[in-house]
Structures are given as structure tokens and as C-alpha cells.
């Protein structure tokens, strides 16, 4: 009886393993459009790299952060200018931007290592609040805000972001209480990033003059996809929203551009790919069925 049970269990486990085991999903992206932006998106003064792009989850607008302009410029997702919001209290070198229905959020490396890093500005009143006690980021850092969560990298230790590789996650109500820290499997830095909260993934633009876009698992940091697009990741911003990637290629004195990529979907690939793996699996199943018949398991 024990022998019969083992054969039956082996048969079931073998079939289940083949049909249930898959590799990581592979995304496909396609360029929808690339448009020149209005002249105000082309600051004549960059100070240091990079410039930031964010998504306003409250209005559905794209948000552009140019370091030396002390304002947030906005457009619809087609790149058409929709307005500007002045930043109060005269920030110095703002590097990244995000928003929800209530606030704009931005990182600033005012006074470098002796200035506060992270602020919120109320959309209605314009009142600015320092939301983190962190005073360390020499060159600022990229941020994103989704579903009541703040996502940010580790602090930068220079103007370059080539050594950034970590995403820290916290509730907006307690920014400095880090709930999760994820180290991404990359050595190319983080020029900007966008969160896909639905799929628990993060899209990253390399901090590189010949940058790729990379997709990572937000739980493990595992690299899922690489799209070698040859982008300028030093002067650019990236964000994600509703199945689209948006890339802001900032060009001093212009024209700066907005490129939109559709994430077309995913493909699920068996861990033992057909046709190489399938005949082997069928042969194993035939043997098992033969044994099952012999011992009258089935």
C-alpha cells in the first residue's frame, strides 16, 4: 500500500510541477510618441543632475522638476502644458517630485549635508512642511508617492546618483519610520523611478548617459526586465502610471521631450520550455502511468 501511495503522489506532483511552475513574467514596451515640450520645460540653468518627473495621482497630471526653477511645471499625459505651481520658502536645488490629492512632495538638497531633504507643500494653501528629519542627502534623491506610501532611495553621498540602489518605503503619516527597504539588483544607479503598486514593481531609469529602463520586483529587488533604449539618464526623469512609462528628456535651452511607452503586457513562460521540455515530461508521465496501471493505482 505504501508503494502505491508513493507512485500516486509522484504522479500527481510531477504533473502539477510542470503546469504550475513558471519563470518571472517578461514585460513588453512600445514607444507610443515622443513630443517636444514647451520652452518653459527647458531651463537655461541645470545646476547639477538630474531633473525629475513625477505623477500626480490626484489629478492625473505629469509633474516636472527643474532644479533651479523653484516651481513645479505640469502637463497632461500627452505633454501639453497645464500650469505651474511656485514652491514656497525658496528651495534651492529640487531634484524629484510626486503628488497625491492633497500635497506636492519634493526632495531638495538645499545647503547640501546641512539642509533638510524632504518637503510637502499643500496644494490649496501653499504651506510647506518639512516631513522628514533626515538631513543628509548631499545631492537629494528620487522619490515617488502611491497609495499613501512614500518611496525614496537611500541618501546620496555626492551630486552623482550612480551609487543608488535601494528603495525605502514608509507611510506618509510617519515618513521616517521605514517599513521596508529593498535593495535592487543593479549597479547602474537610479536616475529616477516610478512605482507600479498594482503589480508590486518598480521601473528604474539608469543614472547613465546611455541608460536603460529596468523593471524590478519590489518585494525582492530581483531584476525582471532590461530595455536598452540608450536614453540620457543623467538629465532625465521617469515615472509610471496606468500601464504607461513616461520619460522626460531635459535639454538645456531645449527642446526637451516627453516620450511615452506602453507596457503591452506579460508573457508566462514554463520553467521547462517546450518543445525541449515537453517531450521529456510526456515520457516521464507515460512511465508513471504504466507503473500506476501495473499496481492498479488508477
**Phi, psi at 134, each rounded to 5°:** -65, 125
What CATH number was assigned to the domain covering residues 29-267? 2.120.10.30
CA distance 253 to 269: 46
Number of neighbouring beta carbons within 10 Å of residue 222? 13
pLDDT in tens, 88-132: 998 888 889 999 999 999 999 876 778 899 999 999 999 999 999
Alpha-carbon distance of 73 to 75, in angstroms, equals 7
Report the candidate in 216, 83, 210, 232 with the shortest Cα–Cα distance to residue 151: 216
The answer to whether the CB of 106 falls within 8 A of the CB of 119 is yes
Residue 46: the pLDDT is 64
Q: Which three cell numbers stand for residue 252?
A: 538645456
According to DSSP, residue 187 is labeled S
Q: Pick from 236, 169, 223: which is nearest to 197 by CA?
A: 169
Say if CB 175 and CB 132 are below 8 A apart: yes
Q: In the prediction, which pLDDT does 286 show? A: 47
Local structure of 36: helix, strand or coil: strand
Between helices 2-20 and 277-294, what is the axis angle to 10°?
A: 160
Per-residue pLDDT, 293 = 56
* Three-class SS state of 175: coil
Q: Identify the H or E element spanning 11.
A: helix 2-20
CA pair distance 11, 231, nearest whole angstrom: 50
3-state SS assignment for residue 243: coil
Q: Which residues touch 157 (CB under 8 Å, ≥6 apart)? A: 138, 163
For residue 269, the SS3 value is coil
Residue range 66-91, pLDDT digits in tens = 988 889 999 999 999 999 999 999 88
Q: Are 94 and 70 in contact (CB under 8 A)?
A: yes
What's residue 24's pLDDT? 54
**Predicted pLDDT of residue 13:** 43
What is residue 7's predicted lDDT score, i.e. its pLDDT?
A: 41
Q: What is the pLDDT of residue 266?
A: 53
Q: pTM for the whole thing?
A: 0.81
Helix (H/G/I), strand (E/B), else coil: 247: strand
What is the distance between the alpha carbons of residues 252 and 48, in angstroms, rounded to a whole number?
12
CA distance 279 to 109: 60
pLDDT given at position 298: 53
Q: How many CB atoms lie within 10 A of CB 86?
A: 11
Q: What is the rounded CA–CA span in Å between residue 291 and residue 293?
A: 5
Residue 168 forms beta bridges with which residues?
152, 181
* Domain boundaries defined on the chain: 2-20+273-294, 29-267
Q: Which segments in the chain show pLDDT lower than 50?
A: 1-23, 267-282, 284, 286-289, 291, 297
Amino acid at each position: 500500500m505504501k508503494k502505491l501511495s508513493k507512485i500516486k503522489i509522484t504522479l500527481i506532483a510531477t504533473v502539477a510541477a510542470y503546469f504550475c511552475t513558471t519563470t518571472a513574467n517578461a514585460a513588453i514596451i512600445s514607444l507610443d510618441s515622443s513630443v517636444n515640450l514647451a520652452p518653459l520645460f527647458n531651463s537655461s540653468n541645470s545646476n547639477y543632475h538630474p531633473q525629475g518627473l513625477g505623477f500626480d495621482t490626484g489629478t492625473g497630471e505629469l509633474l516636472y522638476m527643474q532644479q533651479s526653477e523653484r516651481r513645479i511645471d505640469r502637463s497632461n499625459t500627452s505633454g501639453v502644458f497645464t500650469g505651474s505651481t511656485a514652491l514656497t520658502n525658496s528651495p534651492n536645488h529640487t531634484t524629484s517630485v510626486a503628488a497625491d490629492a492633497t500635497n506636492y512632495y519634493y526632495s531638495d538638497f538645499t545647503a547640501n549635508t546641512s539642509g533638510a531633504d524632504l518637503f510637502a507643500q499643500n496644494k490649496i494653501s501653499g504651506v510647506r512642511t518639512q516631513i522628514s528629519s533626515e538631513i543628509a542627502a548631499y545631492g537629494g534623491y528620487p522619490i515617488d508617492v502611491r497609495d499613501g506610501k512614500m518611496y525614496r532611495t537611500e541618501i546620496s553621498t555626492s551630486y552623482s546618483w550612480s551609487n543608488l540602489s535601494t528603495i525605502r518605503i514608509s507611510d506618509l503619516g510617519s515618513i521616517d519610520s521605514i517599513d521596508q527597504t529593498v535593495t535592487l539588483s543593479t549597479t547602474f544607479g537610479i536616475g529616477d523611478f516610478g512605482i507600479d503598486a498594482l503589480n508590486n514593481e518598480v521601473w528604474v531609469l539608469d543614472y547613465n548617459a546611455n541608460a536603460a529602463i529596468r523593471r524590478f520586483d519590489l518585494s525582492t529587488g530581483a531584476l525582471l526586465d532590461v530595455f536598452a533604449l540608450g536614453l540620457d539618464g543623467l538629465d532625465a526623469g521617469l515615472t509610471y502610471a496606468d500601464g504607461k512609462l513616461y520619460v522626460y528628456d531635459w535639454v538645456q535651452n531645449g527642446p526637451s521631450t516627453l516620450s511615452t511607452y506602453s507596457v503591452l503586457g506579460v508573457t508566462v513562460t514554463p520553467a521547462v520550455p517546450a518543445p525541449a521540455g515537453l517531450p521529456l515530461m510526456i515520457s516521464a508521465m507515460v512511465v508513471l502511468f504504466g507503473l500506476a496501471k501495473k499496481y492498479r493505482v488508477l
